[in-house]
Chain A
Amino acid sequence: MSDMSFHLGEGSVRIEFDEDLYPKDAIYGAAYVFIDRCWVHLDRAGDRRIQVTLKAKKAGADTQAFVGEFQNELLGQTWRLRIVEENKKLIESITARALGGAAGPPGLDELLAMDIGEETAFEDPLGIAMSWEEKYKKKGKAEGTKAEAEGAGENASGGEKAS
């Protein structure tokens, strides 16, 4: 069987291909591009074969052109995944700089909008107001009892929740 095949139906097209050729994220991404024009259905046609059905929402659509466009988009999505992986640091760095530069530091309005009520005002999830002895006394012991270990676990859990 060829790697990719398609079957034209009434206002729809069914495309089948080997699932090992493309990452699943690329298949989802390529199929998603069509949802404004088509009803999109993903299925498994057989052993390691993926089937994508594109049913046009409007009559008279060129469903054969959908096949070419889907294949091109699939290739683009697959290649992009690889490029993004290779350039992850660059993308993160540019995005962080762009959004950080545009947003700027939080202003007074944003600080005022924070949820600081009577119950939460004195929460200290990072233990900033605790003395060194309070904060580290349990960790300082080489061997602890079971009860102490459970207590330490509660503290850790509280910190994670707040963060």
Chain B
Amino acid sequence: MTGLSTLFTELGPAAKAPAGLVPFRFREVGGDILLTNFLGDWLFVTKDEFRSLARGELDPASPLHERLASRSFLREGLDQAKAAERIAYKKRFLNWGPNLHIAVVTLRCNETCVYCHASRANMDAVHTDMTPEIGEKVVDLMLQSTSPSVTLEFQGGEPLANFPVMKHVIEYALARNRAYGKGLEFTMVSNLALMDEEKLAFLVDRKVQVCTSIDGPEHLHTKQRILAGGNAHREAVKWIERINKAYIDIGLDPTLYHVEALLTTTREALKYPKEIVDTYVGLGCRAIFLRPIDPFGFAGKTAQIVEYDRAAYHAFYRTAVEHILDLNRRGEQVLERYGSIFLTKILGDDDPNFLDIRNPSGSGIGALAYNYDGKIFSSDEGRMMYETGDPAFQIGDVFTSTYRSLMKHETVRALVMASIREAQPDCVNCTYTPYCGIQPEHSYRTQGTIFGRMRESTLCAVHKGIQDFLFDKLRENDPKTVEILRRWTTVRARTHFIHASSAS
């Protein structure tokens, strides 16, 4: 049989779907045809089987009929009530308001990075520090979210540069939450170079999760992240080890409780897929997020240096994940975050509520970003665009906005509607729609429209490439590999970090 693209031309008027199939989408992956349906069920058929289906042929006594029935591709026997339950369960995030609240406590930063997304300011720009009063208003708004649990994420700049305010906001949130009883978590994204023992003791005591940036091996990290008068990599590594020891000292399981690190994949990083993975594993990280560079902040301006063709990214991704799989086969427990997110939807029949790969996206309804000056944005990316001159995603401020006015803001409504994949050209026919999601701010930044043109979207290309890779692994069906991929869908809750105060 020739390629899929010529099949329907060959069949001409003879092409017809067999009676009784539910609507499905298809795509050629690794020589077979992948079918997916509206429930997120999937099935591989051979090209010959697909050719029969395209002729309208489906023998009720055939193994193919049985396989289609077992994966809810046949109307007959489809339990509609159960199907509705599954969809409602996977979309349950729609019942809640924003869980993630990002507070940019300062734009000041002690490091200079080639791809800085945060639009940093120099260390003497104290006017970019959030005040305690603004911090309190952030907490007041956050606690009004309809979400039963909320995470307050401190970002910068470098949040440790405005540690007194961060401390104040944490104490204020803990006190205020006694009246709300929400599951409350704190996260700090820091380069760690301004850490000291006193700050660490406070962060450990108040159960603040620490996340840092590691660009890979020292030579790569220090080339991309300049720490005046110091070595950015050594500082980060020193404090990762110290914090991990602090967790062990208070009796926490180091396989679950450790510093997480984030990678930003630049053009230079593409040369070192295995070295980057080994660096993370060497630091005790159990999750590696192979994020491609995004176009926000300074990265938009330095694109000529740090950007690259997405085919090059896919080659990097495949090499790195093959290496991660090899490490797993040798007993190392480490996962790739993109893979984990997609596989939870593909194999786990669930949605991990990762805001940027959600349908609709989490802009506004899943996350809010609060700038140091009190301005509120539908996402951190929206805030980054404001810092580089475009206020399109500002939806209010902490002084005048009420929580409901933010949720009912016309920009939030537009972002929801623009990110419903079933309403977008290309996505409407895409095999990966049940598992995918696009952040509308990315489309706006790169294409000038929150709806986006997916065939020209670098984000769409990344998501398609990763899902092609994952589905090809599932198609090959190597038992050990599938077992590892299934393990990536199991998220162990880090309950120690949740402040579960009961409302008084």
Asked if B98 is an interface residue, CB under 8 A from chain A, the answer is yes
- Check: B424 CB closer than 8 A to any chain A CB: yes
What interface size band does chain A fall in?
A: 20 to 34
Q: Which residue of A lies closest to B448 (CB)?
A: A33
Within 8 A of A (CB), among B113-170: 144-146
Closest B residue to A103 using CB positions: B407
Give the bracket for the number of chain B residues in contact with chain A: 20 to 34
- In the complex, what's the smallest C-beta–C-beta distance from B356 to chain A, in angstroms? 16
Q: In the complex the two chains form, is B447's CB within 8 Å of A33's CB?
A: yes
**Interface presence of B404 (CB below 8 A):** yes
Cα distance A109–B144 in the bound complex, in angstroms: 11
Mark each residue of chain B from 97 to 116: 1 if its CB lies under 8 Å from any CB of chain A, else 0. Answer: 11000000000000000000
Which among A41-49, A78-86, A120-128 touches the partner chain?
A78-86
- Complex contacts, B403 vs chain A, CB 8 Å: 103, 107
Give 1 or 0 for each of B447-464: 1 = CB within 8 Å of chain A CB.
Answer: 111010101100000000
Q: Which of A5-13, A93-101, A155-163 contacts B (4 or more CB under 8 A)?
A: A93-101
Least CB distance, A82 to chain B, in whole angstroms: 9
| A29 to B428 alpha-carbon distance, docked (Å) | 20
Confirm or deny: A119 has a beta carbon within 8 angstroms of a beta carbon on chain B. no
Q: Is the CB of B97 within 8 A of A94?
A: no
**B402 engages A110 (CB within 8 Å):** yes
With a cutoff of 8 Å between Cβ atoms, the chain B residues found around residue A79 in the complex are 425
Closest CB-CB distance, A40 to chain B, in whole Å?
12
Chain A residue numbers with a CB within 8 Å of B424 are 80, 83
Is there contact, CB below 8 Å, between B417 and A103?
Answer: no
Q: Measured between alpha carbons, how far is A36 from B447 in the docked complex, in Å?
A: 11
Residues of A within 8 A of B408 (CB): 99, 103
B-contact bits for A124-140, CB 8 A (1 contact / 0 none): 00000000000000000
Q: Which residues of A contact B428 (CB under 8 A)?
A: 83, 87
Q: Secondary structure at chain B's binding surface: helix, strand, loop or mixed?
A: loop
Q: Does B7 contact A (CB under 8 A)?
A: no
- Determine the chain B residues whose CB is within 8 A of the CB of A110 once the complex forms: 402, 404
The total of Cβ contacts below 8 Å across the A-B interface reads 94
Mask, B80-109, CB within 8 Å of A = 1, is: 000000000001001111100000000000
Knowing A33-B448, A109-B402, the reply to whether A102 touches B417 (Cβ < 8 A) is no
Which residues of the partner chain B approach A75 to less than 8 Å between Cβ atoms? Answer: 425
CB <8 Å contact, A107 and B404: yes
Are B94 and A94 in contact (CB-based, < 8 A)? yes
**A104 is an interface residue with CB less than 8 A from chain B:** yes
| Given A80-B423, A109-B402, A110-B402, A99-B453 contact (CB < 8 Å) | no
CB neighbors of B among A6-54 (8 A) = 29, 33-34, 36-37
**A29 to B418 alpha-carbon distance, docked (Å):** 14
CA distance A84 to B451 in the complex (A): 12
A72-B453, A98-B360 known; 16 new pairs, CB 8 Å cut-off, are A29-B449, A33-B448, A72-B456, A73-B453, A76-B425, A76-B453, A79-B425, A80-B425, A83-B423, A90-B423, A94-B416, A97-B91, A98-B365, A99-B413, A101-B96, A103-B407
Which B residues fall within an 8 A CB radius of A? 91, 94-98, 144-146, 360, 364-365, 402-404, 407-408, 412-413, 416-417, 420, 422-425, 428, 447-449, 451, 453, 455-456
25 pairs, CB–CB < 8 Å, chain A vs chain B = A37-B448, A72-B455, A73-B447, A73-B449, A76-B453, A79-B425, A83-B422, A83-B425, A83-B428, A87-B423, A90-B423, A91-B417, A94-B91, A95-B413, A98-B360, A99-B407, A99-B408, A101-B146, A101-B365, A102-B97, A102-B364, A104-B146, A104-B404, A106-B404, A109-B402
A residues whose Cβ falls under 8 Å from a Cβ of B: 29, 33-34, 36-37, 72-73, 75-76, 79-80, 83-84, 87, 90-91, 94-95, 97-99, 101-104, 106-107, 109-110, 113
